[in-house]
Amino acid sequence: MSFIPGMFPRVAGARRLTALSVVNQTQVGTQAAFDVGITIPTVQDGDLLVLLTYAGDGVNQLAAFAAITGWTTVVTAEYPTIKRTASSLHFKIATAADSGTVVTGGCTGNDTGAGRSKVKMLLVVRGDVPITSAVAGSATGEASLGNPAAQTVTLSGGAAPLFVVGGYATAGLGQTVATRTCTVSGVGAKDSEYQEALFSDLDIWLAWKSFNAGSSLATPVVVDMGTAGSSNLLSGYIACT
């Protein structure tokens, strides 16, 4: 009996997950509404979706946070007084049916107009086999009027492969996150980064580093940013199997 190549497709989970990489990135924002929805691009069963949400509001308003149904919240950061801002990181293991659906919630606002930005940024992370489970660890978030403290992502509590993510945001006309680090033993370690490019009075970045199977997890990752206006800094890892 002869066999046609591909007659027996690979069974999901038959091979151990060993590697992660970002395959898509998208963003959306508004200054005309309290929230903005982001559309999930075409995804496959077992993709990992990593979402950053951000909201900035006026002096007499307060950016708010609401959990997103079906998503796990990694960390949030909220500044409760003047120049109110809030940001959050979330993840979800996707199915193909998530393609084209719209995600709302996370950090939202109570004010509209210039400087009252609501932004969502989404990464699609794919494994060399479909991801079946994920757990977050060593997560830290800080919102500040100045320079947030450096954050240490301790990897030893997880198991490779894992995905380290850092979120950096600053608000204010002309303000930029000029310094945004993701280092191991003082050496730059980002795989890559993705910049918000929607509003002139806002600068947001997502940076990431994958630690694939066989990687040492003994040395932590340090995520930091320079002084920049009304700032938010978020970090943590997502370990996948």
Q: Which residues of the chain have pLDDT under 50?
A: 1-3, 5-10, 12-13
Residue 165: give the domain boundaries.
Answer: 20-240
Q: What is the total count of domains within the chain?
A: 1
CA dist 68 to 81, 91, 108, 189, 226, Å?
24, 10, 11, 30, 30
Of the chain, the percentage scoring pLDDT greater than 90 comes to 71
- Whether residue 106 lies inside any domain: the answer is yes
pLDDT at residue 5, rounded to an integer: 45
- Whether residue 14 lies inside any domain: the answer is no
- Whether residue 5 lies inside any domain: the answer is no
* Residue 185: other Cβ atoms inside 10 A: 9
- Whether residue 93 lies inside any domain: the answer is yes
pLDDT at residue 59, rounded to an integer: 66
- Whether residue 6 lies inside any domain: the answer is no
The span from the first CA to the last CA of the chain, in angstroms, equals: 37
pLDDT at residue 10, rounded to an integer: 45
pLDDT at residue 115, rounded to an integer: 79
Taking all residues of the chain, what is their mean pLDDT, rounded to a whole number? 90
Nearest 5 degrees, angle CA 191-CA 196-CA 198? 160
pLDDT at residue 6, rounded to an integer: 46
pLDDT at residue 41, rounded to an integer: 98
- Whether residue 115 lies inside any domain: the answer is yes
- Whether residue 161 lies inside any domain: the answer is yes
pLDDT at residue 60, rounded to an integer: 63
pLDDT at residue 81, rounded to an integer: 63
- Whether residue 105 lies inside any domain: the answer is yes
